[in-house]
Structure 1
């Protein structure tokens, strides 16, 4: 049986290609995390409006921009395809997925239910410190300049609220649904008045969470998402259900 000392020596010993075993392990770890980093970059491009529904993802240009080969970019795109954020079109390549108004409305309903559940659970976990952190983000939203400044912070606040539920599975489900809605949600908050109203709702939600009122927090959080659904429907000339 090898000793720990022998195992360490084996890790730092050079292979025929000049790399130590330890260096190889580090390189393999970096290679496995690279597609994940590219996924996050593409998601941020969608959130920030750099990529919109129907836009083609140029793998070569993206690889050049990130300073990587096309392999990790292609793997990242396959991951996003499984997440239903992009879609492959035969003989044309990978495109940011477009969803219909009807699909968006259904996703809003699911998201509203998940957000409400998060509020019901979070009310038992939010104390003064957590509420202060949430209000600090709401303050930043008040000061945000235009949609480009507001929207990423809005996403951050919502994810923080859901994370306070203490349920990793709920966070995962909420994230999956929310990512599909990014294109529609940006448009729903374009008017400044809509952003102000939305942030006032955030503050009322935070008040109820800090007070430990789970049912009231759940009701306000569900209504907050449904208000976004109604803005989306109105923008697309459809009546509210």
Structure 2
């Protein structure tokens, strides 16, 4: 009987741990989305109590979720001051752009070599069309842009590459928005997306990779021009 009770308690504990993990992932995802859409920007102090109220939870899970984001370098703890959205220098951002460009280009070559189904291509074209309609507003365009890039990297079939790309990209959210502040920049960005899909469709690995790498480097140039103007 005691062994049966022990087994039930162990199962309940595993269920509780799974629920807690899911909750932390949900909260971390919401916080990341706040950074992506500009609700939280680099240098902002994060109010745990206000966030807990907004998300309908206690401060404990919010604090744990922030620790997860600290590990991924989206936020940073400052002694006696609390948790802040992480800031990086322009020079550091430029170096991260170079890394991101190489990862994006590699993902493009791998994706084209693997081949992409007509159904997936249709989904990608639909997302590019939605971005065309979102061009007038950066708050509409930027989250969709982030989503499309993740989809393209995922097509590489290399989960580790996707993780590395996401890690680098998360640190660059503020600077990526800088490079898309003008409507002309957003139009240029999405025109490049369409060009990438043309070569991905025909399976041209070299040109897909080249265009995807160039797309990120173009964003780097726009970001540097924006922050130095």
Alpha-carbon distance between aligned partners in 1 of 2:111 and 2:61, rounded to the nearest angstrom: 37
Alpha-carbon distance between aligned partners in 2 of 1:64 and 1:133, rounded to the nearest angstrom: 36
Q: Which has the larger radius of gyration?
A: 1
Residue aligned with 1:176, SS: helix
Alpha-carbon distance between aligned partners in 1 of 2:199 and 2:18, rounded to the nearest angstrom: 43
Residue aligned with 2:228, SS: coil
The match for 1:228 is 219
Residue aligned with 1:52, SS: coil
- How far does residue 127 in structure 1 lie from its aligned partner after superposition? 3.0
Q: TM-score, normalised by structure 2?
A: 0.93
Say yes or no: does 1:162 pair with 2:153. Answer: yes
Say yes or no: does 1:126 pair with 2:116. Answer: yes
Q: Which one of the candidate residues 55, 61, 64 is aligned to 1:72?
A: 61
- How far does residue 129 in structure 1 lie from its aligned partner after superposition? 2.0
Residue aligned with 2:80, SS: coil
The match for 1:139 is 129
* Structure 1 residue runs of 4 or more that deviate by more than 3 Å after TM superposition: 20-28
The match for 2:198 is 207
Q: Report matched runs for 1:1-241 at 5 Å.
A: 11=8, 25-124=14-113, 125-144=115-134, 145-237=136-228
- How far does residue 187 in structure 1 lie from its aligned partner after superposition? 1.6
- Kept in 1, the 8 Å contact 2:76–2:83? The answer is yes
Number of residue pairs the alignment of both structures matches: 226
- Kept in 1, the 8 Å contact 2:178–2:227? The answer is no
Q: What 5-or-longer segments of structure 2 have no aligned partner? A: none
- Kept in 1, the 8 Å contact 2:137–2:183? The answer is yes
Residue aligned with 1:88, SS: strand
Residue aligned with 2:67, SS: helix
Residue aligned with 2:156, SS: coil
- How far does residue 236 in structure 1 lie from its aligned partner after superposition? 2.0
CA offsets 1:160-203 (integer angstroms, 9 cap, x no match):
00000000000000000000011111121011111111111001
Question: Is the deviation greater in 149-158 or in 59-68?
Answer: 59-68
Q: What 5-or-longer segments of structure 1 have no aligned partner? A: 12-19
Alpha-carbon distance between aligned partners in 1 of 2:169 and 2:184, rounded to the nearest angstrom: 22
